[in-house]
Structure formats: structure tokens, C-alpha cells
Chain A
């Protein structure tokens, strides 16, 4: 069974630009979560989608948004990039939104903002 696939793995943007990251969950998983990992703030929850609906959102500005498609694939978008948005963005999927369903993480998308 293929794991969680994130694309692109690495990207470089400049301040003010926007970026879209993609996540394909494990087959059969309908819940997708996004986390941001930085050296200063650690791992922080961004949002979770289930059945194309955002179920939960972390404490991030409105520049961070996401969506989920009918095939459970998800994208997250960051607009008007700032230097502080440089981070590893991790996507994770699970069968459903229950806390008893374990998250499986992808390898991440490393974003560098110059």
C-alpha cells in the first residue's frame, strides 16, 4: 500500500509570492491533516479535512488555507509568503477523524522563502 505522498518535496519562493502544496493520502484514508514544522515553534497543527470539509483549524493567519477533493487528495496554499513561513510542511492521513485512528505522515514539503 503506497504511503502518503507529498509534492513538491523542495521549493524556493520569494516574499510576497504564494505557494500550493499537494498531498495524496493512503488509499482509503479520508482524513488529511497538515502540520508545520520549524526549529523555533516545533510541530504545529494547521488544519484537518474530512470528506472535503475542514473539521479543525490551528492558530494560523488566514494566509494559510487548504482544501480537500472528492478523491481525498488535499492541497494547502500559503499566500503573500513571509520569511517566517520557511518550514517543513507535513501532511498526514488517517482512515477517519476519530482520535483512535493513527496518523501516517508523508515525507514533507520543504519550503524556503527568500
Chain B
């Protein structure tokens, strides 16, 4: 069965420090992979996606993620965190289609940014 694991429930980083949020997935074929961000009281905003091709994908707000098939991982990175990045981050895996066309989300990582 498809699944997504985000091992870090809560992370605190200092403003200006680098960030890496971990995501591991379980899927029988090459998946569609996504990172979404959710600010308090808001819906989900897409940061970036991976479908195929270059395994390093760039997203909005200076985020990037790297798809590593051998490790079944899709970690999110940012070289320098800003206070406005404080939010909850969700990794998701999607199916190609057919009857199971939906997103499976991880449990999320709550990011706090210290001044």
C-alpha cells in the first residue's frame, strides 16, 4: 500500500540557518511526489512537485527537493530559512490514475523559526 512517512513531527531552526525536512514514501512504481505548506488557518499551498526527469526540483519561496529512488526519499531543503517560513509542511505521493487517483499525505512537520 502507498504510504508517506515524515519522521520529524516538529523542527525548530534559527532564522538564516539551512533546513532539511525528511520524507520517505512507499509506492510500487515511480510516484508523483509533492510538498505542500500550510499556514495556520489556511489551506495547502503547493511548494513543488516531481513527476519525472531531473531528480532535483526547484519550487517556490526558494525551496528545492531531491528525489532519491534508492532511498525512497523526497527531502525538502532550503539554504536559508526566513521567519515567514514557519508553517506546517506536508509531503504527499500521488498515483498515476485509475480508480486510486488521490494523494496520500504524510503526517506533517511543524516548522518553528527562532529569531
A residues whose Cβ falls under 8 Å from a Cβ of B: 4, 6, 33, 35, 42-43, 45, 48, 55-56, 58, 90, 92, 97-100, 102-108
Separation of A33 and B106 alpha carbons in the complex (Å): 18
A43 CA to B90 CA, complexed, in Å = 9
B97 on interface, CB distance cutoff 8 Å: yes
* Across-interface contacts of A45 in B (CB, < 8 A): 102-104
Contact size range, B: 20 to 34
Q: How far is the CB of B87 from chain A (nearest CB, A)?
A: 14
Q: Given contacts A42-B108, A43-B90, A99-B94, are A56 and B99 in contact (CB under 8 A)?
A: yes
Q: Which residues of B contact A106 (CB under 8 A)?
A: 43
Distance in Å from the Cβ of B28 to the closest Cβ of chain A?
14
Majority SS at the chain A contact face? strand
Tell me the complex Cα distance, A98–B32, Å: 11
Chain A interface: which of B17-25, B44-52, B61-69?
A: B44-52
Q: Chain B 85-112 against A: per-residue CB contact (8 Å), 1 yes, 0 no?
A: 0000010001111011111111110000
- CB contact between A42 and one of B46, B94, B99, B107 (< 8 Å): that residue: B107
Q: How far is the CA of A33 from the CA of B100 in the complex (A)?
A: 13
Q: Report the bound CA distance from A42 to B105 in whole Å.
A: 8
Residues of chain A lying within 8 A (CB to CB) of residue B95: 99
Q: In the complex where A42-B107, A42-B108, A43-B90 touch, is A99 in contact with B43 (Cβ < 8 A)?
A: no
Q: Which of B44, B49, B90, B97 contacts A98 (CB 8 A)?
A: B97
Extra contacts, 12 of them, besides A4-B43, A99-B32 (Cβ < 8 A), are A6-B43, A42-B105, A43-B103, A56-B99, A97-B97, A98-B96, A99-B97, A100-B32, A100-B96, A104-B46, A105-B36, A105-B44
